[in-house]
Amino acid sequence: MGAKTKKKVYFVGVDLGATKILAGVYDSRLNFIGKAKLSTKANRGYREVVRRIARCISDAIDECEVSLKQVKAVGIGAPAAVDPDTGKVIFAPNLNWKNKPLRDDLQVLIKRPIQVDNDCNVCALGVYEQELTPKPKSMLGIFLGTGIGGGIILNGKLHHGFNQTAGEIGHMLINFDGPETTWGSRGTFEMYAGRQSIYRAIREAIAKGEKTVLTEMLGPELKDLRSGDLRKALKRDDALVRRIVHDAAVATGIVVGNMVNLLNPQVIALGGGVMEALSKEMMPVIQETAPRHALPGTIKGIRIFASKLADYAGIAGAAVLAKRLSQRQ
């Protein structure tokens, strides 16, 4: 009798967002196979979102003609403070969740091993595994999206910190007199370079009488404003948008310089929807600003770059979580 053919195994990575769920299927070598997407519908409540995650996973493996039995494990990145040991979501402000046992509840539905972590931790892991060769000993990921988050990798592993919340770089204070956050602090990094803060600054400038082509494109209320619209405005040399995007890039450069002083990582990767749309305009400013805020000589040799993974960073990193979980079992 011939040797038995080894059964193919797969890993599923899930990027859970406030508005969409993306599930990706990867093979044993973490090559991307296919994906599926669903709207989150967070307004329907926690239980319904858990069901929709399970449905998105099912849709993805069905699209790839893979059976659930072939899936060794599932990784999930959630927009939340997460306890990775228990898979519990401690607090997810954009989903309005507190102390939700996401891993255990989802496991009831899909009956596969599951690892849950913070979405930006997961994105950092995705960039580390998919874009960096050779692997650096240390990396910081900074992700500019609706808000801003970060992920820290030390010796190839995610650094979670004492209370499992390390990497919340968006809440770093950069201006004592800046705008107030929803949780009471002032002048945080997120209030200057997060997507919603950029939009707010544009709307405030319009209210003061400044002109922008965005009102021609989208109407006076800037309905359905997106990062791509900012890129279009910049192509038309819109002075208001250029100034506000420049200010966001300066804020990012200041934080990058501070992180060089604090962590001195070998690599700093910048990602997220804002960077995906505006990296051409922002990266030169970030590269120029960061050295002015790092101690002389400390930034030498550190690679600072914009990730090209876009949405795939989250699902790729979550698949890495899944594979690492299966190797521990």
Same domain, 119 and 14: yes
93 is a domain residue:
yes
Give the DSSP letter of residue 223: T
- The pLDDT tens digits of the residues spanning 16-54 come to 998 899 999 999 999 999 999 999 999 999 999 999 999
CA dist 73 and 103 (Å) reads 12
5 is a domain residue:
no
Domain that holds residue 159: 135-306
Same domain, 323 and 229: no
4 is a domain residue:
no
Can you give the pLDDT at residue 182?
64
168 is a domain residue:
yes
1 is a domain residue:
no
130 is a domain residue:
no
CATH number of the structural domain spanning residue 22: 3.30.420.40
- The pLDDT tens digits of the residues spanning 122-181 come to 999 999 999 999 999 999 999 998 889 999 999 989 999 998 889 999 989 988 777 776
* Spatial contact of 197 and 244, defined as CB atoms under 8 Å apart: no
Same domain, 117 and 139: no
* Spatial contact of 208 and 231, defined as CB atoms under 8 Å apart: no
CA dist 97 and 174 (Å) reads 28
Same domain, 151 and 229: yes
Same domain, 197 and 275: yes
2 is a domain residue:
no
Same domain, 214 and 256: yes
The structural domain count of the chain equals 2
What is the residue-averaged pLDDT of the chain?
A: 93
CA dist 7 and 65 (Å) reads 14
